[in-house]
Amino acid sequence: MDSTISIEEQALEKRKILNEAILSGDSQVQKLYDDAVVFVTGGLGFIGKQLIEKLLRSANIKKMYVLVRPKKGKSGLERINKILEDPVFTILRNDNPSFVDKIVGIEGDVSEINLGIDDKTWAMLTDEVNVIFHVAATVNFVETIKMATLINIRGTREMLKLAKSCTNIKSIVHVSTAYANATKNRIKDEVKEDFYDSPILPDALIQLAESVPVDTLNDMMTPLTRDWPNSYTFTKTVTEDLIRRHARDLPICIVRPAIVTPALEEPMPGWVDRRNALGPSGVILGLGLGVIHALVAKEEVIMDLVPVDLVNNAIIATGWETYEKFTRGDKKITIYTVTATRNPMSVQYVIDAIQIFKYIIVSKQAIWHSFGFATQYRFIYVILSWVLHYIPALIIDGCCVLMGKKPRLFKVYKLVDTLTAVFQYFFTNDWVFHDANTLSLYNKLSDTDKLLYNFDVSSVDRSKKMFAFCYGVKKYIVKEDDADIEYALKKQFWLKIAHYTIFPIYIYSLYKILYIAFAFIYYILTAICLYF
């Protein structure tokens, strides 16, 4: 309890200092965005929301166009208004409620030609936009190659088309991922801040995605994608190659964040998008709810966890440096990697930190005692998942059916299994990510900009980062606050007693059932052998 109060108090003090720096007029980075018209894709996602908030809070943006796809019968404007209700905008809404007047929703779809934008709106954007942040991407790791190509690769090509048409474009920032080139053949090896050759020409893959059926394209791409763990990282490396080929005369850079986690400080500690329940935050969530009890991970592997506010500070600062370099005639496309390389945390450190902050993540909505095991061996995980996940789920779902209720737990564990499979590659392997360009940029910043747009991961207290991670999942995904902690801890106390009372009986019963089953099978096989 004291820790949660402390982190909020520290954030309040930091906010006062930041507000003074914002009003000081000493920031060089701010000057790029003064009276600028900004276009953002992916503004409704985790990184995009916090990026919009930080830009509007720290700089005098004239107007911000946000690409938004109509969805579920809601118009783009309705979706924008809904997003602005997110807690990430609470402070901005309280301090400057008129910020909403600067945001204009542009209906479109990044997977469509011309980003799905009509001709009239396209012409307006090309006449007004100065800065583009291309954050949109499908982060679905099991997405088909076809759809991942249309969104990640062709969507970027269409963004570049828009940028080339803009009459007064100053800077473009494309958000990639540190894992774009973290391939299987580079495990334990270096990943440089440089372009890597794509296994296929970007335009060729786009043409295939536009003309070849889904299953056929998947089969065709299998030999080329074997070195990548999923369609997301594969299409991201092809996208970077597309930028190298198509954007040589544009003021553009690429930012590669690693695993993006809840905010360290801004706009408030721990802020995280609720949809991150299906990302890394889902692991913390599952542990807190007593749902996840087994994971595949190597204790010594380095976890590249970077808070979203540091990622976006880097994105904003790289936009400024790109403009500065381009105006000096330097047209080289620079890549900036934002990882925890200079302040590493191992899987074991993360596990230990979660144990220390366990009182934060336990929830009053927990269905069982919060505990977990991590193993690097897949076959051990399978055994643990059946013993700790699937068999209990079948028992509980069976009881639900008998009581006339809808069985759900087995489906939940199928989702947990998918989540585990998605992150297994990253939790059992690591790479040496270079970040010299990012460090060089940070060192160029003025003292004011280092304060306003801090992305120095090496300066971050690791314990504070993990605390904010756990705290944020509880507060912004589970929607519980300090008032619920006492009840949650009491519930965990009784669930723990229930666990250590029931679990030995469960294991013994499981042993007896398996013993009888194997004995029966042995009897049948012996009888068959004697008969023949």
User: Helices 436-444 and 308-327 meet at what angle, rounded to 10?
Assistant: 80
The mean pLDDT of the chain is 90
In this structure, is residue 102 part of a structural domain?
yes
pLDDT of residue 327: 93
| Helix (H) / strand (E) containing 352 | helix 347-356
In this structure, is residue 99 part of a structural domain?
yes
Mean pLDDT of 191-198: 94
Query: What would the pLDDT profile of 24-40 be if each residue is shown by its tens digit?
Result: 888 899 999 999 999 99
In DSSP terms, which residues pair with 334 in a beta bridge? 253
Secondary structure of 92-145 as H, E, C letters = HHHHCHHHHHHEEEEECCCCCHHHHCCHHHHHHHHHHCCEEEECCCCCCCCCCH
At 498 the three-state DSSP class reads: helix
> Is residue 288 pLDDT above 80, yes or no?
yes
CATH number at 338 reads 3.40.50.720
Closest CA to 227 of 186, 276, 196: 186
In this structure, is residue 242 part of a structural domain?
yes
Query: What would the pLDDT profile of 140-189 be if each residue is shown by its tens digit?
Result: 888 899 999 999 999 999 999 999 999 999 999 999 999 999 999 999 99
Boundaries of domain holding 25: 14-275+302-345+431-460
pLDDT of residue 75: 72
Entry pTM: 0.92
Query: What would the pLDDT profile of 38-61 be if each residue is shown by its tens digit?
Result: 999 999 899 999 999 999 999 999
> Is residue 2 pLDDT above 60, yes or no?
no
For residues 15 and 315, which has the higher predicted lDDT (pLDDT)?
Answer: 315
> Is residue 439 pLDDT above 90, yes or no?
yes
Give the number of domains in the chain. Answer: 1
pLDDT of residue 253: 97
User: Helices 409-427 and 378-385 meet at what angle, rounded to 10?
Assistant: 160
Closest CA to 63 of 83, 39, 88, 82: 39
In this structure, is residue 283 part of a structural domain?
no
For residues 109 and 355, which has the higher predicted lDDT (pLDDT)?
Answer: 109
pLDDT of residue 259: 92
pLDDT of residue 334: 96
In this structure, is residue 492 part of a structural domain?
no
User: Helices 202-211 and 231-246 meet at what angle, rounded to 10?
Assistant: 120
In this structure, is residue 519 part of a structural domain?
no
In this structure, is residue 522 part of a structural domain?
no
Query: What would the pLDDT profile of 493-513 be if each residue is shown by its tens digit?
Result: 999 999 999 999 989 988 888
In this structure, is residue 267 part of a structural domain?
yes
Mean pLDDT of 68-90: 82
